[in-house]
Structure 1
Amino acid sequence: MAGRFLKQIFVENGNPMAMHIHSSIANINARTTLSERIAHSGGNPHAAEHSARVILADPNTEAFQLLVKAYQDTPGVYVESYLWVKKCVEKGVVKFTPVVFKNPGGRRPGEERMSFTDKDEEMLAHWIAAKIPYKEIGGRTGNRLYQQLCDLHSDPEYAWVTRHTWQSWRERYKKNAARFDDIIAAIVAETKPTLGQKGQYGYVRQPERRKRARKGVPKDEEFDEDMADQKPKMETIPDSQPIAGPSNMGFPHAGPAQGGPGIMSAVRGSPIEEELDETESDWAIRVGNAPPPGWAKRRASNDLHDGQHLKKQRQDGPPPADQGSIPPQTVVEIANMHVIDSNIRDIAKKYRFTIEEVQEYYDKCGDMSQTHSRFQKMREMLTNNFPDDTIPPSQ
């Protein structure tokens, strides 16, 4: 290159490109040669680091990596190797080293951590066909099936299961169930396994048995039927006829609708019942559809008459005074007497006198306040004049 005019490539906008030769280039001769080469091509090799457009350093030193990290986010500033100047001069053009973008890590969106191969799917289909040959049995999307598969990782025959977790095996089948079911059906058609044979999954989904309630049957009857299976039934007690006698309710006794006097004679068994039936015919009861006895008619008519009479009284107004009602004045006098007696008892109890003494004085004076004041003073006089001797004197 001696004797040849060099192209002025290190010029920007008519000005020399500012370059800084870093101290990591320790060789004096190399620094001098580099400086001359930059100057011959139009650059400025004497710029400071903070104002330089290009920083030249030794790529084999730790300082070079620190410079790259320090200026990687600074726009317009480039850290280059000292060999970069020679390459640019030989090519006659300035070309900065492009920024190398690193892989951020992780898997791409939608990409599996470890892709499933055709061999993986084939082995998985054979496993499901051996364990659950028929989909109707259920359990192909459960956890236990694939957990059992991964538990066999120590077996050399099942070394392929270690490529994925049991969750991944399950999700692989679940997301591609239609395709896997066709493959499994072809395998089952070839092997023709018997349902329930040794080595299968061991869990079969059975239809739930639901108890259907009979329509039109009350809940009470259903409860009685259920309890009848657990407890012994009680013996049926035959219908018995009530003993003849007077009724306080005023209504005829309800007897059986079938039969007549013959039934009564058949049921009657004790001499007392026979005697009652013969001697007290006035208290006969109604049998079957026969008319009610005389005493029942009279009672019913009397009740009807009394009810009509009471209704008439309520409609006409308050009952007349000649039916034993107490006059209002008498009621007031009785109330006053009750209050007086109550006050007399209170005075006697409060001041510890007898009721007869208080009553006698009140009958003389007729004033309750005066009576109260008198017995209060009497109790105070007795307390002051006659102290309690049971209390020992203080020493």
Structure 2
Amino acid sequence: MVQSFALFPSSVKFFIQKDLPTELQAELCETITALGGRVESKVPRQGFVLIQPNTNEAERLKLCWDSPDRPDRHFVPYTYVEACKIAGILLKQIFVENGEAIKFHIDSSIANINARAALSARIMHSGGDPSASAQTARVILADPNTEIFQHLVKSYQGVPGKYIESYLWVKKCVEKGAVVYTPLVYKNPGGRRPGEERTQFTEEDEEHLCNWIAAKIPYKETGGRTGNRLYQQLCDMASDPEYAWVSRHTWQSWRERYKKNSQRLDTMIQAIVEQKKPSLGEKGQYGYVRKPEEKPKRSRKRKDDGRLSPSRTSHPMAMGMHIPLTPQDGHSHSGIPIPPVPMQTSTANSMGLAIPQDSVMVVRKSPAEEEMEDEEAEWEVKVGTDPPPMWGKRKAGEDSSENGKRTRVSSEQINGRPASGGMHQMARILDIAHEFRFTVEEVQEYYDRARFKKMRDTLSVLADDSDHAA
């Protein structure tokens, strides 16, 4: 037994599709009458036509009686009566626009079949058409918790008259009794309006800026007030508590503030400068740095004046041993220390070395050498091709072979070992000459350390002229 209460006003009329089952038609008539409505045998001018969707008779009724001239005639499924009874109100036909049903498309992101069926029925009960495709639908319903929903929003946000809504949106509209689309919210694209600053400059900001410029560039004529570096240095001071105000703006904003108001700010800066009276180039001003320390000037090496002929400088011994022809520091270019040895011009010429007259090396003598200079007249040495001195003549049988000729030590044998090369050989010659105070030519001719040691020992034991005089 249906409980009787006036849910439908008596003016609300219903027409039931004639090919519905007789039992269903009888049940609908009883429920409509019990809720206060009227059942008509013909399609009313105003009221509801109860149909079974997706049937031939339902399509025929729509084709014959659905007209924009009759906006108060609504075609609803026969379940509409039960839906109104459950809701406790006469459900308004809100999904209607310009006398036509609003077309809906239920997206596949709503995967539950029962949810899709319930959503479709609720749309039809409120006058909408849930059978449209995504392209022809005015409203696309989707699950907002899926990526498809966001994709649909981005895809159709530029299409006018098309809306992407959540499946819960239908229920909200039914409860409100009106269609209210989700409003668009303005999103700041990130820029600023022309002439508008993100953070407004205050008088205090300008005062700080003028003090900074007055300290760094007190005089405008020096330039640099519109450069980038001045304001970048300002923002680098943000970590200092005294400069906490710097972080209110970017260095570009500080620079643009000065550029756009330079005439007014220059007046303020000039007043600060006149009060503090800083001197030009004072420590801390921008553009002035500590003068670099003067580096000691290097003495330039004397260039070759061209007096060494190519034929002389290309001597095999000079080229192979890399020995400077005019040494100044007593060291060869190869890094081997060679004691300075006085070399006579005749000796150098015999070796094939051309020495300029103005590049004769002066060697400081030891006291023993200075004493021996007094005895040079008596203790002569062999020079060039001159005959050897008396003390240098060898006794018969001394250091000679069977044929009476002197046995010369080979350049390949030095103290029983082969020479390691021209450079090493010359180094040993100079070493022997320096140690026993003989000429390089003499050492080069004999090249026997033991022989020269013996000669020097013999000279050392000879009695001095002063002893004879005593």
User: Smaller-chain TM-score range?
Assistant: 0.3 to 0.5
Higher relative contact order (CA 8 A, sep 6+): 1
